[in-house]
Chains A and B, each alone.
Chain A
Amino acid sequence: MKIVLKNVNLLHPEQKINEKGKDILLINGVINNIGSLSKEDLADAKVFDFSGKYVVPGFFDMHVHLREPGREDEETVVKGCNAAANGGITGIACMPNTEPAIDSAEVVEFIKKQAAGHLVDVNVIAAATLGRKGEIISPMAELREAGVVGFSDDGAAIKTSAILKRALEYSMMYNLPIIEHCEDEALAGGAMNEGVNSTMLGLPPIPSIAEDLIVMRDIIIGEYTGGKVHIAHISTKRAVEMVREAKKKGIRITAETTPHHFTLTDDAVKTYDTNTKMNPPLRTQKDVNEILTGLKDGTIDCIASDHAPHSPEEKEVEFDHAPNGITGIETEIGLALSELVHKKILSLDELINKLSINPRKILNLPIPKFEEGQPANFTILDIEEIWTVDLSKSKSKSKNSPFDKRLLTGRPIAVMNNGKMFYEDKFADL
């Protein structure tokens, strides 16, 4: 099929493309021509007038919980991918804390099979240790052969320094990152950030140093081994500062943060809304400010949602009993545009780096190119549209987000990848 995207702005920081008012001709999902289209090109093509909209390399979310296998009542691979497409994401990496954990080639293959043929590319992060128990490292070579792009015991940090050292040494052979959920087990276990709000709300606190200590450990062991450490969902001021210093010293470390950690503070917990309970917890304004600085100065490489679906029966309970996590894959682009681009923390170029280029680099994945002959892997953005989040329209199986009814500026309007398009709430073949 011939498709023309008319009058779009092309933006691709990696290729140094920044062009306004171009047309793109796609034939069967492959870029045929960019720029100067003749009358014949347009003749039998389906034309989408995207005047003023931005076409950018498809966004990538490197921290998603798909819950399959194990908790298909909360999310499935397909539903999670549908939500990703609706959120303007063309590729994801899914986390291994499923039941069973992703620690064998069979589970990787199962997930890949579920995702086959979808618009959204599903990349698998495998457990760093068997059963995420922190005792024996997972069969990393075999897992890599099955296609995994990184390792993590997400939900918790790798249990001991000795195992982390071993995991880094082993994964280094394949240049794959160890993605760390940084939290000291002995200091963990609370329900919200330790601060004046936890004191006032009477909720068991998690001190920020629980995160800082493990970030410190990981930097030191990362430097010692030379392995690739990636800090997941960084949330504290001190952790950002330590990563900044480590990068200056040339240590191989990268970091991501989430939209909720750059948007909300622990003030949001005051309603006891369990959709403000996540791990790491929402922190203070000081932490948010440092995260914004870290995003701006490049300390924080990526933005990832930590999309964590939970069933209503699990979330509609007392705060102490509710599980951690919120859905986020459908609101992350809107939040990033509203909170970062429109508030002049990041340029649109910088945002594309954090949401498309950098995560793929960290996971050694190819970066979509804007060139003739390349498959179309696009996110199309309307950066000015003002819209209201409506969870009832979410494509995810779960609706546990604190952002329902929030007013945002800027949204993804379409995505294209794998010969498919998602636009106006529908999937179509290109």
Chain B
Amino acid sequence: MPLSSKHLLGLQGVPREDIQLILDTATTFREVLERPIKRVPTLQGKTIVNLFYENSTRTRISFELAEKRLSADAINFAVSSSSVSKGETFKDTMKNIEAMKVDMVVVRHFAAGAPHFLTKICNANIINAGDGIHEHPTQGLLDMYSIREKMRKLEGLKVCIVGDIAHSRVALSNIFGLKTMGAEVSVCGPLTMIPRYIEELGVKVIHNIDEAIQENDVLNVLRIQLERKAREYFPSIREYARYFGITEERLEKNGKEVLILHPGPINRGVEISSGVADGLNQIILQQVTNGVAIRMAVLYLLGTLK
């Protein structure tokens, strides 16, 4: 059964069957990644543009690798935000790229809704690689894949997203995807970093990190974006680390096994201690590997849609 949409703009509203299909397809590609020759001819002849309006290393490399391993022609188009002020509009840039006959566009943009805007002005498949503080669906998918790989299920699992929920695009994709797959989702962080009305998405809000550890099977620890405006939302890094950071002592004190995820890049000693980041309960690097498989699955499923 094919996917129900020709774009992947977010996980909100994506049916369970589609998520299931992507995760299952990723399992196949995950196996390809273990082969000596990690390339399949599936998307030969397809042209994919990685249109990045925001700096990104791992997401761009992950997509680029996924594209190359599917034998697609991958082109990177990094637009520094300054070129916006140079005059060419996003629309004109996209129209130019489309005129070069591309099949798919992977877009990272600092403005929420930018990928949705692209679907209105061009015919290529659009894949959202992160739009503002809205969604980052492939991250949500790879997180779910990694949890499922480790825990053997998603249904009924209790997952808590920890950190700056309000300025995270990872949080929403996790929330929408996990809820669709039947997990119970909560968020934990300083109240200044929890968007108002998030409970209306069926998400529990926790302010105490110990409670979050006690109540959950999985913690998805978000990066505190020290370089962003987000820095104004808590008093000091020290205070954040002390009251919301995941440390070995804290895990030990709670005497409970939880699976730790982190979308990276990690701030050691801030949201996660080195001990936890390198410890036995985390799957941070597996997430990175799985990310390539998930992106291969998404590109393959969208690229071969009739």
What residues of chain A have their CB less than 8 Å away from a CB belonging to chain B? 194-196, 198-205, 207, 271-272, 313, 316-321
- A194 and B133 alpha carbons, distance in the complex (Å): 14
List 26 A–B pairs whose Cβ atoms lie within 8 Å, in order of A's numbering. A196-B200, A199-B172, A199-B196, A199-B197, A199-B201, A200-B172, A201-B112, A201-B113, A202-B131, A202-B134, A202-B169, A202-B172, A203-B113, A203-B132, A204-B133, A205-B196, A271-B116, A272-B113, A313-B89, A317-B90, A318-B111, A318-B114, A318-B117, A319-B111, A321-B84, A321-B111
Q: Is B109 an interface residue (CB 8 A)?
A: yes
State the Cβ distance, B172 to closest chain A Cβ, in Å: 6
Known contacts A199-B172, A202-B172, A319-B112; 9 additional CB pairs below 8 A are A196-B201, A199-B197, A199-B200, A202-B113, A203-B112, A205-B195, A272-B117, A320-B110, A320-B132
Q: Is B12 an interface residue (CB 8 A)?
A: yes
- Which residues of B have CB within 8 Å of A195? 196-197
In contact, A316 and B12 (Cβ under 8 angstroms): no
- Count residues on chain B whose CB falls below 8 Å from chain A CBs: 26
User: Per-position contact with A for B73-98: 1 when CB-CB < 8 Å, else 0?
Assistant: 00000000000100001110000000
State the Cβ distance, B24 to closest chain A Cβ, in Å: 27
State the Cβ distance, A204 to closest chain B Cβ, in Å: 8
- A82 and B172 alpha carbons, distance in the complex (Å): 46
Q: Is B198 an interface residue (CB 8 A)?
A: yes
Q: Is B135 an interface residue (CB 8 A)?
A: yes
State the Cβ distance, B306 to closest chain A Cβ, in Å: 26
In contact, B195 and A199 (Cβ under 8 angstroms): yes
- Nearest neighbor of A202 in chain B, beta-carbon distance: B134
Determine which of B109, B117, B169, B201 lies in contact with A200 in the assembled complex, contact meaning CB atoms within 8 Å.
Answer: B201
State the Cβ distance, A184 to closest chain B Cβ, in Å: 17
- A264 and B90 alpha carbons, distance in the complex (Å): 28
- Which residues of A have CB within 8 Å of B198? 196, 199
- Nearest neighbor of B203 in chain A, beta-carbon distance: A199
- A205 and B197 alpha carbons, distance in the complex (Å): 12
State the Cβ distance, B109 to closest chain A Cβ, in Å: 7
- Which residues of A have CB within 8 Å of B90? 317-318
In contact, B91 and A202 (Cβ under 8 angstroms): no
Which residues of chain B from 112 to 145 have a CB within 8 Å of any chain A CB? 112-114, 116-117, 131-135
- A174 and B56 alpha carbons, distance in the complex (Å): 59
- A320 and B134 alpha carbons, distance in the complex (Å): 12
In contact, A272 and B201 (Cβ under 8 angstroms): no
For the complex of A and B, list the 6 residue pairs with the smallest distance between their C-beta atoms, beginning with the closest: A202-B134, A272-B113, A318-B111, A202-B112, A320-B111, A196-B197
In contact, B112 and A317 (Cβ under 8 angstroms): no
In contact, A202 and B135 (Cβ under 8 angstroms): yes
- Which residues of B have CB within 8 Å of A320? 110-113, 132
What residues of chain B have their CB less than 8 Å away from a CB belonging to chain A? 12, 84, 89-91, 109-114, 116-117, 131-135, 169, 172, 195-198, 200-201
- Nearest neighbor of A197 in chain B, beta-carbon distance: B197
State the Cβ distance, A182 to closest chain B Cβ, in Å: 21
State the Cβ distance, B72 to closest chain A Cβ, in Å: 27
State the Cβ distance, A237 to closest chain B Cβ, in Å: 15
State the Cβ distance, A208 to closest chain B Cβ, in Å: 11
- Which residues of A have CB within 8 Å of B197? 194-196, 199
State the Cβ distance, A370 to closest chain B Cβ, in Å: 49
Given A199-B195, A313-B89, answer yes or no on A319-B200 (Cβ-Cβ < 8 Å).
no
- Which residues of A have CB within 8 Å of B117? 272, 317-319
- Which residues of A have CB within 8 Å of B113? 201-203, 272, 318-320
State the Cβ distance, B120 to closest chain A Cβ, in Å: 9
- Nearest neighbor of B116 in chain A, beta-carbon distance: A272
- A317 and B131 alpha carbons, distance in the complex (Å): 14
- A194 and B198 alpha carbons, distance in the complex (Å): 11
- A409 and B110 alpha carbons, distance in the complex (Å): 41
State the Cβ distance, A390 to closest chain B Cβ, in Å: 20
In contact, A317 and B172 (Cβ under 8 angstroms): no
- Which residues of A have CB within 8 Å of B112? 201-203, 272, 319-320
Given A318-B114, A319-B112, A320-B111, answer yes or no on A203-B134 (Cβ-Cβ < 8 Å).
yes
- A318 and B111 alpha carbons, distance in the complex (Å): 6
- A201 and B114 alpha carbons, distance in the complex (Å): 11
- Nearest neighbor of B176 in chain A, beta-carbon distance: A200
- A319 and B91 alpha carbons, distance in the complex (Å): 12
- A323 and B59 alpha carbons, distance in the complex (Å): 31
- Nearest neighbor of B134 in chain A, beta-carbon distance: A202
- Which residues of B have CB within 8 Å of A207? 196
- Which residues of B have CB within 8 Å of A316? 89, 91
State the Cβ distance, A251 to closest chain B Cβ, in Å: 31
In contact, B91 and A317 (Cβ under 8 angstroms): yes
Among A207, A272, A321, chain B packs the most CB atoms within 10 A around the CB of A272
Determine which of A200, A202, A313 lies in contact with B132 in the assembled complex, contact meaning CB atoms within 8 Å.
Answer: A202
- Which residues of B have CB within 8 Å of A194? 196-197
- A194 and B135 alpha carbons, distance in the complex (Å): 17
- A202 and B112 alpha carbons, distance in the complex (Å): 6
- Nearest neighbor of A271 in chain B, beta-carbon distance: B116
- A198 and B111 alpha carbons, distance in the complex (Å): 13
- Which residues of A have CB within 8 Å of B12? 200
In contact, A317 and B89 (Cβ under 8 angstroms): yes
- Which residues of A have CB within 8 Å of B172? 199-200, 202
